[in-house]
Amino acid sequence: MEDSKPINVEKLIELTRCNDILFDFLRKNNALFSCEGVCTRCGHGHIHLNCEKSSSDGLIWRCSTRHCTYKISFRKHSFFSGSKLQIARITKIIYFWAHRYPREIVIHETGISNGSVVAFYNFLLEACCIVLQEQSEPIGGPGTFVEIDESKFRTREYHLGKRAKGVWFFGGIERDSNPPKCFFIPIEDCSAATIIPVIKQWIKPGTTVLSDCWKQYYLLEAQGYIHSTANHSIEFVSKSGTHRNNTASHWNALKRSLPRYRTTKAVCFSHFVDYCIRRKFLDNAKDKFLETLRLISLVYHPNRSLDIQPESVLQPQAQHEPQPQPQPLIVEKLLSQSDNNNVGNITTEENSSDFSLM
């Protein structure tokens, strides 16, 4: 598998045919880990890899001391831990998700149930969300220009055609940044009490903020920003060059990516997150499968303790818990081009209400 060409389906089949070849490949890509070392229980034996018929992988890490019964799962610390599915089948799911295969094809090709495919697709989505969070940082600063805008993504209740409630998103794009930088986050409403703190959190003081003439934006100058506006009821670009064309184009691309029906709040958000993940990490990657494995390795490794369950990123907070501050989706290469294609087929709980990328 040293070929520099991207891994295609033929190579994937060859890779997953033999466990020894697959496990070696996953170790090289930091998706499986070695637990070799001195036994932490007895302090005398050495942990090494043994055959184990009762294990789904046929392997287990075991202490070499005869009377020591210490064992460690072959999948310890990895993305594969906690699942009874064969590693080869999970690897195929990772490949299919990276290349945006519809669930129906994945179910047909792997023989895995719809629920398991949905869970792993959401599991991968959550892992990438964690990477997005950790790479998030405020944009702008003195001498820079940031366009800001808000947009409402309509939803349909009870799978009917009538438009009902919607989800508000707020975003900002830094002009002339290389690579381009922006942030997009879900918000509860468009009140000043909601948007102004978001601006203060994710746009640096001294930035020239470009917006429409919404009256609450005029509070920005008192917060340490230079504010310039364009009145869209009169002109799309003001005489000073102020406009929001960049943010508007991305709202349109995101809305085109949504399915026509079944656009509940949770589905809307899952498509939004999937869009941002792919534009930041996968669309320009030489090998989308290897890039996905790299993202997984940033989240799942021996030095990190995680307690993640599939689909949890899309679940609302309990009503009695305080809502956390929403985190932005910083997409450095989001501005490269518009995407007219659908951004995935992730389904979630249809009764989800409030959500944020935390």
11-27 residue pLDDT tens: 999 999 999 999 999 99
The DSSP output letter for 37 is: E
Among the ranges given (125-139, 153-167, 271-285), the one the predictor scored with the smallest mean pLDDT: 153-167
Could you tell me what percent of the chain has a pLDDT over 70?
68
Higher pLDDT, 171 or 202: 202
The pLDDT assigned to 18 comes to 93
Is the pLDDT at 135 greater than 90, yes or no? no
What CA–CA distance (Å, rounded) separates 358 from 353?
A: 15
Domain boundaries, the chain: 145-314
254-279 confidence digits (pLDDT tens)? 666 666 555 566 666 677 778 778 87
| Predicted TM-score of the model (pTM) | 0.71
Higher pLDDT, 291 or 57: 291
- Say which amino acid occupies 45: G
- The CA distance from 188 to 355, in Å, is 9
Length of the chain, in residues: 358
Highest mean pLDDT (candidates 36-50, 302-316, 325-339): 36-50
Q: Which helix (H) or strand (E) holds 115?
A: helix 114-134
CA distances from 187 to 19, 45, 116, 152, 309 (A): 46, 55, 31, 10, 24
pLDDT digits (tens, 9 = 90+) for 174-185: 887 766 677 778
The whole-angstrom separation of Cα 298 and Cα 292 is 10
pLDDT reported for residue 80: 93
The first and second tokens of residue 39, run together, are: 């036994």
The upper half-sphere exposure of residue 46, i.e. CA atoms within 13 Å in the direction of its Cβ, equals 3
Residue 41 neighbours by CB distance under 10 Å: 14
Architecture of the domain whose range is 145-314 = 2-Layer Sandwich (3.30)
- The better pLDDT of the pair 38, 357 is held by 38
- Element containing residue 320 per DSSP (H, E): none
Residue with the bigger pLDDT between 266 and 6: it is 6
Return the axis-axis angle of helices 87-98 and 19-28, rounded to nearest 10°: 50
Mean pLDDT of 188-202: 90
How confident is the model at residue 211, as a pLDDT? 84
- Amino acid 271: pLDDT: 74
